[in-house]
Chains A and B, each alone.
Chain A
Amino acid sequence: MKSTYFTPVAVFAILSLASCRAPPPPAAGAAVKGAAVATDQTTVIGRRLITEEQYLNTVAHMFGPDIEVIAQFAPMQRTDGLLSVGAAQAGVPSGQMVKFQRAARQVAAQVVSSGNVALRIPSRQDALIPCKPADATKADDACARMFLGDTARLLYRRPAPEGRVNQLVAEAAKAATLSHNFYTGLAMALEGMLLSPDVLFITDRTEPDPERTGQQRLDSYSYASRLSLLLWNAFPDDRVLKAAESGELSTAKGRKRVVEMMLASPRLEEGMRAFFDDMLAFDSFASLSKDPAAYPGETGLTLTAAREQTLRTIYYLLVTKNLDYRDLFTSRTMLMSPVLGTVYGVPTAPGWQPYTFRQDSPRVGLLTQISFLAVNAHPARSSATRRGKALRELLLCQHVPLPPPNIDFSALEDPKSPAKTARDRLTVHRTNPVCAGCHRITDPIGLALENFDGAGQYRATEKGVAIDTSGTLDGQNFGDAAGLGQALHDHPSLPSCLVRRAYGYAVGAPLKEDETQLVDHFTNQFAAGGYRLRDLLQTIVLSPAFYQVAPTPPENAKPATSKEANAQTQSRAE
């Protein structure tokens, strides 16, 4: 199914790039044919289904982090390397609706809970409902309106239609009357709100762009939602919505102020954790386990901590320390916890603390963290092929073809074979012409990590034979995992891949072939700023590509000539 999502198409900008004197403006997106007309002035150009984490984060922000929800929403389909892009196509079958309803019920019941004095459980209704009903056994429209109106604004991420708020107040009153409980009435109305399609689908609406006659841009509320989902992985809060309401987000100056505020917020950590978790395909951790016979020390607790370590390390190095993105693969510093300390064999302090490995340690960079090593391995052994494939696809955005259907790897296990190490065994892959095409691009990389077993623990030998970790990455030779990290650090596709993923994640749509110029533009900006993550985020969200929408070409329109395209791009640049 073709996506109805806003996908920035760079046709005009691309044509102009070749001849532009100044750095070109980022490309603007094209509205999708068949898009809905929401009003005479606005157009719906896409819907993203809320993810489980966005739901939970939003609930925690609005009602407190102690609200407990068992959600278990259906996973998204990984699209263009990201689950979040799959959200742009995801539907809601009835099984998923049941889960939404259950989650809504859990949230609503806790929001209006009266607590328990004996158990010292505080009353949430006192903290979260901004008023007291005249009589808690009856409906109170004024108080209900106060709570439901405020809540609807945050959940709908825009002023809720007055008719809808009236309807919610009426439903709360009806429920309060039936149950003889004002708070039950509120809970029921909140449950209903949490099932609204305009809450669970994050809708991109456009409006006429006053700066580009006849063209469209995201309206301020949609822009606010996009910003918030990227930077906080949650709905916008009151401050961001106020900026949308006041028109501040419609100005360049206003957008800059709000973006800086959001980048300075501690919620940025939630946003970046979600992004990198998605980019690194860490959803596999949900069902990852290791063979206890092979790796008795690698428990579920260890694996959970390993995932956490990488996400915390990324945030620490790239945001807290504001390091060059590429240093993630050469830094000897990782966040460490007592659970992991025993696995890494290093002393630790309580909680999560930075730990820097010695210069002679084999632990260098993200590739040598247990998370990457364990998730890209088999349950009972390492996998040079999986690790190499993951590096290529996740970090360099390269495509490793699927194996040919008719393959025979049984030579790998030939009992007469003298092979001792993975390198020996994988020689079969690299010398068999059917296999070599793919394995030559994965195995030499993965073999550099063979000093780490399937659980990510260090080993110098395999079956008594010293492990050879030398190899090459697209022309750059290395001798060990540290060298591979350096080769990756220097690889030109490393930053551009991050840019590609970050932009796709930001707009919730796969990049198209003709959008490489857009990625190049962002990558150049990224490089100019020293590959700082905050700068990249700022560049993307303040670029016209993030909020402008290119006109939809008429069905039978002739392609624009270069001259026409240049003229249009130039006018938008101005």
Chain B
Amino acid sequence: MKNLSRRRVLRGILNGTAVNVSLPLLNLFLNGNGNAMANGESIPLRFGTWIWGLGMNDVIFTPKKTGANFDLPEEIASLAPVQKHINLFTRFNTYKDAAPLMCHHTGWVILRTGMAPSLQQVRPGETIDVTVAKKIGSTTRFPIISATATGDVRHSYSYESENSVNAPEFSPVGFYRNLFGPDYQDPNAAEFKPDTNVMVRKSVLSGVLDETKSLQRAAGAEDRARLDEYFSSLRDLERQFDLQLTKPEPRAACRRVDELKGEPSAGIDTTQVAQRHKVMTQLMAMALACDQTRVFNMSYAGETAATTKAGYDKPHHTATHEEVTDPVLGYQPEVSWFTRRAMESWAEFVTILASVKEGDGTLLDHSLVYAMSDISYAKIHSLDNIPMFTAGTAGGRLKTGLHIQGSGDPGTRLGYTLMKVLGLDIPSWGTLSNTTSKEISEILV
């Protein structure tokens, strides 16, 4: 495959001939040990995030035992099948310092950017997925893919900057179309025929790049930042065109995805959200297996989740504030019902990634997923003890199956640890009280 350089492909196109490539059988895609591609390239490392809204009920969520083989209280009992794949982090805090507490906004912004937001209206700066994508996401078709199970395009937790949101896919059919529609190149296809139109598109794009450059030259500082981003996005598009002109490396874990024809019913009933979440996770997993992206975000519910339960008149968020704490149980039973559904979907997310065989392990083994909520105890918007998880070993770099307690340490320690594991050269992460340069060593191999 190495001999089929991009230059050769392009030369073939320019000479008016299609390049047809015979491919080896799937079982020859990997090396003898099954831990690397046959061409010597290692199986790619992926990073993802997963978020659910409205935290948890500490008394039935937090295990009594730390370390391995931790107990699974009733609110997270559904995690039993995936316990060996995950780590749970409790008793880590987020600190707003002098900034106001903006209820459901502050916590997730800190955990994903390291900084407390100063205003509800101000979008976060660069989120952790974007930071990671700069390191590991530059060679795939999509630097990042994001999806939300709520059906609401406004539910995004991925920001390039405060002015640039990475809007999530909110429709499973739309998600399918964008991932596996006409622009998709099956890496395992027997025949590779570059599209002449893509070559032309690339050429046309150079004119747009020139136009943008001339605007950049004349721009003031603030204007230039937006034009710089525009230029960078054009470059990403150009790179996508290059990828389409190049025979993709075969991917043993990649399978054909049947076309999605029917949209799951609209609505935010928990069953509808769970169904949308499952379908979109399946699509996301195959996009990863087919190396369409290496960075991904899934939101199960928005920060002020309006998810509903059939026959109960309060959406999840309203219930957190209005439901009476049961004096016998010691928690809000309806609120816990919603949290349990979220945990079921989290378990399903992990299961789906773990079900994709890849090399000598699974897609999950070559991934690192960072999951968090926006809040700890939603009734009072507590920023202390926001629950977090990881899933996957990042190619054997992380231990799993552990419950780690932070004793009030900044929750940013986890994000920092994960970025270090992924190879980012950063001395510290976060600002003010959320600053950390201390990895969570207990999970490091």
A residues neighboring B (CB under 8 Å): 1-2, 4, 32, 34-38, 44, 47, 70, 72-75, 77-79, 89-98, 101, 164, 167-168, 171, 174-175, 178-179, 184, 188-189, 191-192, 195-198, 201, 283, 286-287, 289, 291-294, 300, 378-381, 402-403, 405-410, 412-415
Given A92-B230, A300-B266, does the pair A378, B153 have CB atoms closer than 8 Å?
no
Partner of B237, one of A47, A79, A97, A286: A97
Q: A36-B223, A188-B204, A289-B266 are in contact. Are A378 and B212 (CB under 8 A)?
A: no
Asked whether B230 lies within 8 Å of A407 as measured between CB atoms, the reply is: no
- A88: min CB distance to chain B, Å: 10
Q: Indicate if B207 sits at the interface (CB-CB under 8 A).
A: yes
Contact code string B303-330 (vs A, CB < 8 Å = 1, else 0):
0001010111111001001111100000
Closest to A428 in B: B322
With the chains together, A210 CA to B151 CA distance in Å? 52
3 residue pairs, one from A and one from B, having the closest CB atoms: A74-B167, A192-B204, A287-B152
The residues in B between 162 and 185 inclusive whose CB is less than 8 angstroms from any CB of A are 162-167, 170, 174, 178
For A78, the chain B residues whose CB sits under 8 A away are 121
Query: Are A44 and B313 in contact (CB-based, < 8 A)?
Result: no
Question: Does B229 sit within 8 A of A, measured CB to CB?
Answer: yes
The one of B121, B223, B323 in contact with A35, judged by C-beta atoms closer than 8 angstroms, is B223
- Tell me the number of A-to-B contacts counted with CB atoms below 8 Å: 213
Are A94 and B324 within 8 A (Cβ)?
A: no
List residues of chain B with CB under 8 Å of any chain A CB.
101-103, 120-121, 123, 142-144, 146, 150-154, 160-167, 170, 174, 178, 196-197, 199-201, 203-205, 207-208, 210-212, 215, 218-227, 229-230, 232-234, 236-237, 240, 266-269, 306, 308, 310-315, 318, 321-325, 379-381
Q: Is the CB of B233 within 8 A of A381?
A: no
- Beyond the given pairs A74-B165, A179-B197, A188-B204, 14 more chain A to chain B contacts, judged by CB atoms under 8 angstroms and listed by A's residue number, are A32-B222, A75-B153, A90-B164, A91-B164, A92-B233, A98-B178, A164-B211, A167-B207, A192-B201, A196-B208, A287-B151, A289-B268, A378-B313, A380-B314
Q: Whole-angstrom distance from the CB of A146 to the nearest CB of chain B?
A: 19
Question: B218 is contacted by which of A38, A178, A191 (Cβ under 8 Å)?
Answer: A38
Given the complex, which residues of B lie within 8 Å of A77, measured CB to CB?
121, 123, 163, 165
| CB closest chain-A residue, reference B236 | A94
Q: With the chains together, A454 CA to B428 CA distance in Å?
A: 49
A198 CB, min distance to chain B CBs, angstroms:
7
- What distance in Å separates the Cβ of B348 from its nearest Cβ neighbour in chain A? 22
Point out the residues of chain B lying under 8 angstroms from A291, CB to CB: 269, 308, 310, 313
Contact B153 A287 (CB under 8 A): yes
Contact of B322 among A90, A98, A283, A409 (CB under 8 A): A409
B222–A4 CB distance below 8 A: yes
Which single member of B120, B174, B315, B323 contacts A378 (CB below 8 Å)?
Answer: B315
Whole-angstrom CA separation of A547 from B179 in the bound complex: 45
Q: Tell me, rounded to whole Å, the shortest Cβ–Cβ distance linking A437 to chain B.
A: 16
B46 CB to nearest chain A CB (Å): 17
Q: A178-B200, A403-B103 are in contact. Are A195 and B234 (CB under 8 A)?
A: yes
CB-nearest residue of chain B to A4 = B222
Q: Are B222 and A410 in contact (CB under 8 A)?
A: no
Contact partner of B208 (CB less than 8 A), chosen from A32, A75, A195, is A195
Partner of A93, one of B221, B233, B268: B233
Which of A4, A101, A198, A402 is close to B211, meaning CB atoms less than 8 Å apart? A198
Bound CA–CA A171/B208 (angstroms): 11
Contact across chains for A44 and B219 when beta carbons are under 8 A apart: yes
Contact of B160 among A4, A93, A410 (CB under 8 A): A93
What are 23 A-B pairs at a CB distance below 8 A? A2-B222, A36-B223, A37-B218, A44-B220, A92-B164, A93-B165, A95-B167, A101-B237, A175-B204, A178-B200, A179-B196, A192-B208, A197-B212, A201-B226, A286-B153, A287-B170, A291-B313, A378-B306, A379-B308, A380-B315, A405-B103, A410-B322, A413-B324
Contacts of B120 in A (CB 8 A): 402
B218 touches A36 (CB 8 A): yes
Interface centre among A92, A191, A292, A408 (most CB of B within 10 A): A92
Contacts of B161 in A (CB 8 A): 91
A192→B102 contact, CB < 8 A: no
Q: Are B220 and A171 in contact, CB atoms less than 8 angstroms apart?
A: no
Given A91-B164, A407-B321, decide whether A36 and B196 contact each other with a Cβ distance below 8 A.
no
List chain B residues, Cβ under 8 A from A402: 102-103, 120
Q: Which residue of A lies closest to B204 (CB)?
A: A192
Q: Are B323 and A410 in contact (CB under 8 A)?
A: yes
Minimum distance in angstroms from A415 CB to a CB of chain B: 7
B150 cross-chain contacts in A, Cβ below 8 A? 287
Given A97-B236, A198-B215, A412-B322, answer yes or no on A174-B200 (Cβ-Cβ < 8 Å): yes
Which of A93, A101, A300, A381 has most B Cβ within 10 Å?
Answer: A93
Residues of B within 8 A of A195 (CB): 205, 208, 234, 237
Neighbouring A residues of B146 by C-beta, 8 Å: 95
Q: How far is the CA of A174 from the CA of B236 in the complex (A)?
A: 23
Q: Collect the chain B residues with CB atoms within 8 Å of residue A378's CB.
A: 306, 313-315, 318
A181 to chain B, nearest CB (A): 10
Contact A381 B313 (CB under 8 A): yes
Please pick, from A90, A97, A178, the residue contacting B234 in the complex, using a CB distance under 8 A.
Answer: A97
Chain A residues whose C-beta falls within 8 Å of the C-beta of B267 in the assembled complex: 289, 292
- Measured CB to CB, the nearest residue on chain B to A37 is B218
Which residue of chain A lies nearest to B16 when distances are taken between CB atoms in the complex? A178
Give the complex CA separation of A32 and B306 in angstroms: 41
Alpha-carbon distance A301/B267, docked complex (angstroms): 13
Chain B residues lying within 8 Å of A34, measured Cβ to Cβ, are 220-223
Whether A72 pairs with B234 at a CB distance below 8 angstroms is no
Which chain A positions have C-beta within 8 A of B266? 289, 300
- Evaluate contact between A197 and B153: CB separation under 8 angstroms: no
Report B-chain residues with C-beta under 8 Å of the C-beta of A380: 308, 312-315
- B residues in contact with A403, CB < 8 Å: 103
Contact present for A414 and B324 (CB under 8 Å): yes
User: A38, A74, A184, A407: which has the most chain B beta carbons within 10 Å?
Assistant: A74
* A residues near B152, Cβ cutoff 8 Å: 286-287
Asked if residues A47 and B226 are in contact (CB atoms below 8 Å), the reply is yes
Closest CB-CB distance, A278 to chain B, in whole Å? 14
B204, B268, B312, B313: which contacts A191 (Cβ < 8 A)?
A: B204
- B237 cross-chain contacts in A, Cβ below 8 A: 94, 97-98, 101, 195
B435 to chain A, nearest CB (A): 23
Q: How long is the Cα–Cα vector from A92 to B229 in the complex, in angstroms?
A: 7
**Hey, which chain A residues are within 8 Å of B211, CB to CB?**
164, 196-198
Expressed in whole angstroms, the minimum distance between the Cβ of B185 and any Cβ of chain A is 15
Instruction: Tell me if A407 and B380 are in contact (CB < 8 A).
Output: yes
In the bound complex, CA of A287 to CA of B204 (Å): 37
- Is A410 touching B174 in the complex (CB atoms < 8 A)? no
* B166 contacts across to A, CB distance below 8 A: 74, 93, 95
Please report the C-alpha to C-alpha distance between residue A34 and residue B306 in the assembled complex, in whole angstroms. Answer: 43
Q: In the complex, what distance in Å separates the CA atom of A34 from the CA atom of B225?
A: 12
For A292, the chain B residues whose CB sits under 8 A away are: 267
Task: Contact check, A178 vs B196: say whether CB atoms are below 8 A apart.
Answer: yes
What residues of A have a CB within 8 angstroms of the CB of B178 in the complex? 98
B220 near A35 (CB under 8 angstroms)?
Answer: yes
Alpha-carbon separation in the docked complex, A75 to B148 (Å): 14
Interface centre among B161, B203, B220 (most CB of A within 10 A): B220
Q: Are B220 and A36 in contact (CB under 8 A)?
A: yes
Q: Is the Cβ of B268 less than 8 Å from the Cβ of A379?
A: yes
B163: which A residues are within 8 A, CB to CB?
1, 77, 89-91
Closest to B153 in A: A75
Residues of A within 8 A of B199 (CB): 178
Contact A189 B204 (CB under 8 A): yes
Partner of A175, one of B162, B200, B310: B200
Complex Cα gap A4–B229 (Å): 16
Residues in A whose Cβ lies below 8 Å from that of B325: 410
Report A-chain residues with C-beta under 8 Å of the C-beta of B154: 75, 283, 287
* Closest B residue to A97 using CB positions: B233
Complex-state Cα separation, A36 to B222, whole angstroms: 9
* Contact of A44 with B203 at beta-carbon distance under 8 Å, contacts A90-B164, A97-B236, A287-B150 already known: no
A4 and B308 contact, CB distance less than 8 A: no
